[in-house]
């Protein structure tokens, strides 16, 4: 099949096929060579736009209310064999679980146990759509159509498909919900639960959405109907409700997180809208009445409510359960990566609205007033001022510069303005996080980092991160993992260790490397920093090539033949797919931040690869910083 691609896409495909040299593998394990072609990328794209049940894709069809008949994304493709043959046989694991019905709460849940935890994990993995993953999916779906001219099944419009997620968020209920209640997936304040920095939110469209949305409140264990179904036992099912069945459990993940909401309401929808209206349709603006804009405007006061005096935006409303255990999140907890995502989202929203205000001639006076108020709130959240309700903030930029940055790196998080703490900012120095640094530079820009902390600081930050977070073979960098506790980094001889390789987080690192290259390349030959910048560029160019090439080993058709440490045996037996999605990570691994990485097909990893192929930075308005 011949694909008619825009000139920019053709040049990028040539880069993929010709310009990237094959990796020279310097150390065991033996790793098969792989290259990404246009056909491979199109097959990866098909994963994003096809049905999971019968099309080797990631979509399911909604049945609830106004969502009926619409295709929506999930986060992963799993298989009974992956759980039954691999995870359940992991040393020390057991998947024999007993689920009990509680008539007081109408819940059907496993007993507290390792088997129960494993069931919860696979149920969430099989049935859940992380709203960050869905936001990345929105960008990937529209970008692949607009830039690469990839096609969708049944001639569906790419932006219509991506906008289904916006409607899901607007309606407030899940895709296969039985009752279609508008507040079903929104974190409304109820007593001491979901209190937004001492403020209440009771209007669904103004509240955070939970980070992981199920298809329905009663979720299906992927082992049901398989040869592993005898591992599942159910006790005391109600006799008067046929919805409760063996192999069904009630959803348990109710966590409204700032970072995921920044992606879901700002980054994903607004970038997809930009690609559709401005790049594809060749209009000068995104219409104010588009659902992407309307959802963003409605949710912005919730982000503002969560902002502290020092400028940091808190991780989650009070009354939110933490990732691990049953304890509640400290309401003064801050995740710096969340703040970086929100910074990017606010800048994109502000620019989107300014463009709309300038070019949309049919705006009504009330709409113009709303736009101006929203832009002012974005400005205040970014640079400081009064946010309403007799509150003031120093702004996100002040927090990121003065508190979040320590010893040449962004810290993972901490507590801000906690009245019980010894100081206004109490940083968490361990574990270190990779993404807070890679996303931080990709979002703020290398120029901003160097202006704040001195020339070359952005480049040196990357050198530090590689020391403790890089994954590679010999002295060749393949990418990154998640933290400084993954078994990655460099040994005393400068050789990379091989703990875990993350496709998604490596994509973020690649985006940062390209951001560094764009900035240092932009310096004038007359600049005193020009010679140093040219030296940076040589190293960065090598790393860009080696990481991009290495990521192809995490594509499902090449992974099975690549000897990653910790790789499941006979992996090809666990999955059989005609499309070519990218896997979340190189092995199963409990990430220090509270969830498991699995080597399974991933929506966000695959969407990031579409972005990488098109040199698209999701943290920058239009996908690119001005000097790139």
- Domain containing residue 349: 62-429
* Placement of tokens 């959803």 in the chain: 251
39 plus 28 within the same structural domain: yes
Q: Are 182 and 66 in contact (CB under 8 A)?
A: no
Residue 429 region, left (φ>0) first, then alpha (ψ -120 to 50), else beta? alpha
- Given 377, 399, 429, the domain boundary residue is 429
Q: Are 612 and 432 in contact (CB under 8 A)?
A: no
Give first-to-last CA distance, the chain, whole Å.
33
Q: How confident is the model at residue 15 (pLDDT cuts 50, 70, 90)?
A: very low
527 plus 562 within the same structural domain: yes
Tokens of 281: 């349709």
* Placement of tokens 């640094």 in the chain: 437
Q: Are 164 and 286 in contact (CB under 8 A)?
A: no
Query: Does any domain span residue 435?
Result: no
338 plus 450 within the same structural domain: no
Mean pLDDT of 53-73: 95
Q: Are 566 and 560 in contact (CB under 8 A)?
A: no
46 plus 69 within the same structural domain: no
How distant is the alpha carbon of residue 421 from its chain centre?
31
Tokens of 410: 């962004």
Sign, CA dihedral 356-358-361-362, equals positive
Rg (CA), the chain: 24
Q: Note every long-range contact of 591-596, with CB atoms under 8 Å and residues 24 or more positions apart, other chains counting.
A: 591/482, 591/483, 591/486, 592/431, 592/482, 592/483, 592/485, 592/486, 593/323, 593/412, 593/431, 593/433, 593/482, 593/483, 594/322, 594/323, 594/324, 595/323, 596/121
**HEC readout, 426-475:** EEECCCCECHHHHHHHHHHCHHHHHHHHCCCHHHHHHHHHHHHHEEEECC
55 plus 66 within the same structural domain: no
Query: Does any domain span residue 438?
Result: no
Q: What is each CA distance from 434 to 313, 429, 450, in whole angstroms?
A: 20, 13, 19
Q: What distance in Å separates the CA atoms of residue 99 and residue 116, rounded to the nearest whole number?
A: 8
This prediction's pTM? 0.94
Query: Does any domain span residue 436?
Result: no
pLDDT digits (tens, 9 = 90+) for 399-421: 999 999 999 999 999 999 999 99
Query: Does any domain span residue 233?
Result: yes
Which residues does 196 contact at the CB level (< 8 Å), separation at least 6?
189, 208, 302, 305, 306, 317, 318
Which residues does 432 contact at the CB level (< 8 Å), separation at least 6?
409, 411, 412, 468, 469, 483, 484
518 plus 424 within the same structural domain: no
219 plus 242 within the same structural domain: yes
pLDDT digits (tens, 9 = 90+) for 458-486: 999 999 999 999 999 999 999 999 999 99
391 plus 464 within the same structural domain: no
Neighbours of 227 (CB within 10 A): 11
In the prediction, which pLDDT does 325 show? Answer: 67
Q: How many domains does the chain have?
A: 2
- Given 385, 405, 429, the domain boundary residue is 429
Question: Which of 44-53, 119-128, 523-532, 560-569 shows the lowest mean pLDDT across its residues?
Answer: 560-569
pLDDT digits (tens, 9 = 90+) for 71-127: 999 999 999 999 999 999 999 999 999 999 999 999 999 989 999 999 999 999 999
């Amino acid at each position: 099949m011949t694909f008619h691609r825009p000139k920019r896409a053709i040049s990028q495909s040539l880069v993929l096929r010709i310009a990237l040299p094959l990796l020279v593998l310097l150390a065991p394990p033996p790793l098969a060579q792989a290259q990404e072609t246009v056909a491979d990328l199109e097959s990866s794209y098909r994963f994003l736009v096809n049905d999971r049940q019968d099309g080797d894709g990631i979509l399911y069809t909604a049945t609830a209310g106004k969502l009926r008949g619409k295709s929506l994304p999930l986060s992963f493709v799993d298989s009974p064999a992956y759980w039954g043959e691999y995870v359940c046989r992991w040393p020390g694991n057991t998947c024999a679980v007993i689920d009990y019905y509680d008539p007081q709460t109408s819940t059907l849940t496993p007993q507290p146990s390792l088997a129960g935890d494993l069931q919860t994990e696979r149920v969430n993995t099989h049935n859940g759509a992380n709203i960050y993953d869905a936001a990345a999916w929105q960008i990937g779906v529209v970008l692949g159509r607009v830039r690469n001219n990839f096609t969708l099944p049944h001639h569906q419009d790419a932006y219509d498909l991506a906008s289904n997620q916006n409607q899901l968020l607007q309606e407030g209920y899940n895709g296969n919900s039985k009752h279609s209640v508008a507040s079903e997936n929104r974190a409304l304040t109820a007593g001491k639960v979901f209190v937004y920095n001492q403020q209440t939110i009771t209007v669904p469209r103004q509240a955070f959405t939970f980070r992981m949305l199920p298809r329905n409140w009663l979720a299906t264990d992927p082992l049901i109907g398989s040869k592993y179904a005898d591992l599942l036992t159910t006790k005391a099912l109600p006799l008067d409700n046929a919805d409760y069945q063996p192999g069904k459990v009630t959803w348990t993940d109710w966590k409204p997180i700032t970072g995921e909401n920044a992606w879901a309401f700002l980054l994903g929808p607004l970038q997809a809208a930009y690609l559709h209206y401005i790049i594809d349709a060749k209009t000068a603006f995104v219409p104010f009445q588009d659902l992407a804009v309307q959802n963003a405007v409605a949710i912005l006061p919730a982000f503002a409510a969560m902002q502290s005096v020092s400028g940091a935006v808190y991780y989650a409303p009070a009354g939110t359960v933490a990732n691990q255990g049953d304890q509640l999140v400290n309401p003064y907890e801050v995740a710096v990566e969340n703040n970086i995502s929100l910074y990017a989202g606010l800048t994109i929203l502000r620019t989107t609205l300014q463009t709309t205000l300038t070019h949309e001639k049919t705006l009504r006076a009330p709409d113009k007033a709303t736009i101006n108020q929203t832009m002012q709130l974005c400005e205040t959240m970014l640079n400081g001022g009064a946010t309403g309700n007799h509150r003031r903030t120093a702004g996100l930029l002040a927090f990121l510069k003065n508190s979040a940055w320590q010893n040449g790196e962004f810290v993972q998080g901490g507590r801000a303005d906690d009245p019980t703490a010894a100081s206004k900012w109490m940083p968490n120095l361990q574990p270190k996080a990779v993404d807070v640094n890679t996303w931080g530079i990709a979002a703020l820009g290398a120029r901003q980092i160097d202006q704040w902390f001195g020339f070359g600081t952005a480049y040196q930050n990357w050198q530090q991160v590689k020391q403790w977070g890089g994954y590679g073979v010999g002295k060749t960098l393949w990418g990154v993992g998640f933290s400084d506790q993954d078994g990655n980094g460099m040994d005393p001889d400068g050789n990379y260790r091989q703990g875990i390789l993350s496709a998604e987080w490596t994509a973020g690192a690649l985006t940062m490397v390209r951001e560094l290259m764009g900035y240092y390349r932009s310096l004038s030959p007359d600049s005193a920093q020009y010679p140093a910048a040219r030296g940076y560029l040589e190293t960065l160019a090598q790393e860009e090539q080696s990481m991009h090439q290495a990521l192809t080993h995490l594509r499902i058709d090449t992974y099975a033949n690549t000897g990653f440490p910790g790789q499941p045996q006979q992996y090809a037996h666990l999955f059989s797919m005609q499309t070519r999605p990218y896997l979340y990570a190189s092995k199963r691994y409990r990430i220090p931040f509270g969830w498991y990485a699995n080597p399974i097909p991933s929506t966000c990893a695959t969407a990031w690869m579409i972005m990488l192929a098109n040199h698209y930075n999701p943290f920058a308005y239009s996908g690119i910083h001005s000097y790139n």
